Amino acid sequence: MTERTTFRGAPAAAPPTGPPPRRGDGFWQDLDDAQRAALRRVARTRGYQPRMALCYQGEESDHIVVIETGWAKVTSCTEDGHEVVLAVRGPGDLVCESAVLGSRQRSATVTALSPVRALVVPAGRFTAFLDAHPAVWLLVSGTFVRRLDDADRRLQAHVAAKGAQRLALLLAQLAELSVRHNPPAPDGSVDIGPPLSQEELGSWMDASRETVARALSGLRRRGLVSTGWRRITVTDLPALRAFAQGRPRT
């Protein structure tokens, strides 16, 4: 059984590493220094190992989480027990917040894909923090709007595209997300940060694992990606975008 979040005995995690944050890379990066310091004062640092849940679908809302390092997936479980991947979240992202702010049960589970270091803030302390820093309410609202827009664009694109094009679109978006936190290699290739399995990619794009495997094979033949165990490298991001959009390769 996956371990539930607690505020006692939380495992320690290594200090954040990697390039310095840039404005616009996530909720945390959009805070100013004073706001970050104030949020840290009401938070507990928590480490999560892969497959540990940061919050659970259906539970009462008692905390929010800000991811400092690592990657997590957002999933929802259908009535027949099928898990659907809805999104991935990474460094700087605010998660488990909508239920807290909406005073309702959580509609999704957030699970670590890699080792995660995070700030965990009890619901009451977070709302008090927002009341003391009204400008942060706008950042939270902006987070909601961007996520709705991203979901709408992905839905429209998935309706229009099929098979390998749908996977190419998803991988291009994940590559663009990844380069916000780690620069491309000297040859321009991009390692996709979130370590998603073929089954998880299929769940996200509403396709079977076999469909994803065939699509990846086709993208490899085209020289657009290379793959390994839970590792995908986009070798030519502009060409992958062009393929996803049905444009001829230049």
What are the tens digits of pLDDT across the range 158-186?
655 677 898 999 999 999 999 998 999 99
Q: Specify the pLDDT at position 18.
A: 39
Q: Specify the pLDDT at position 245.
A: 84
Residue 1 buriedness (CB in 10 A; 0-12 / 13-18 / 19+): exposed
Of the residues 87, 122, 154, which one is the last residue of a structural domain?
154
Q: Are residues 117 and 82 in the same domain?
A: yes
| Residues facing 133 on adjacent strands | none
Q: Are residues 58 and 147 in the same domain?
A: yes
- CATH number (domain holding residue 37): 2.60.120.10
Q: Do the domain assignments include residue 236?
A: yes
SS3 assignment for 21-52: CCCCCCHHHHCCHHHHHHHHHCCEEEEECCCC
Q: Specify the pLDDT at position 249.
A: 65
Q: Specify the pLDDT at position 151.
A: 66
Q: Are residues 79 and 148 in the same domain?
A: yes
Residue 227 buriedness (CB in 10 A; 0-12 / 13-18 / 19+): middle
Q: Specify the pLDDT at position 80.
A: 81
Q: Are residues 36 and 109 in the same domain?
A: yes
Report in angstroms the alpha-carbon separations of 200 from 51, 130, 167, 178, 191.
13, 34, 12, 17, 17
Using alpha carbons, select from 46, 135, 157, 32 the residue that is nearest to residue 96: 46
| Residues facing 112 on adjacent strands | 72
**Each residue of 78-105: b (16+ CB within 10 Å) or e?**
eeeeebebbbbbbbbbbbbbbbbbeeee
Q: Are residues 110 and 32 in the same domain?
A: yes
Q: Are residues 187 and 228 in the same domain?
A: yes
Residue 152 buriedness (CB in 10 A; 0-12 / 13-18 / 19+): exposed
Q: Are residues 177 and 240 in the same domain?
A: yes
Query: 24-34, pLDDT tens digit by residue?
Result: 468 999 999 99
Using alpha carbons, select from 177, 173, 162, 180 the residue that is nearest to residue 218: 162
Which secondary-structure segment (H or E) carries 111?
strand 109-112
Rounded distance, CA 250 to CA 248, Å?
6
Helices (H), 18-162: 27-30, 33-41, 98-102, 123-132, 134-160
Please give the backbone phi and psi of residue 75, each rounded to the nearest 5 degrees, phi first.
Answer: -130, 155
Q: Are residues 173 and 124 in the same domain?
A: no
Q: Are residues 102 and 209 in the same domain?
A: no
Q: Are residues 176 and 228 in the same domain?
A: yes
Q: Do the domain assignments include residue 200?
A: yes
**Residues counted in the chain:** 250
Q: Specify the pLDDT at position 22.
A: 42
| Cβ–Cβ under 8 Å, residues 154 and 195 | no
Using alpha carbons, select from 117, 113, 111 the residue that is nearest to residue 66: 117
Q: Are residues 150 and 235 in the same domain?
A: no
Q: Domain tally for the chain? A: 2
Q: Domain limits at 224?
A: 162-244
Collect the ranges in the chain with pLDDT lower than 50: 1-24
Q: Do the domain assignments include residue 12?
A: no
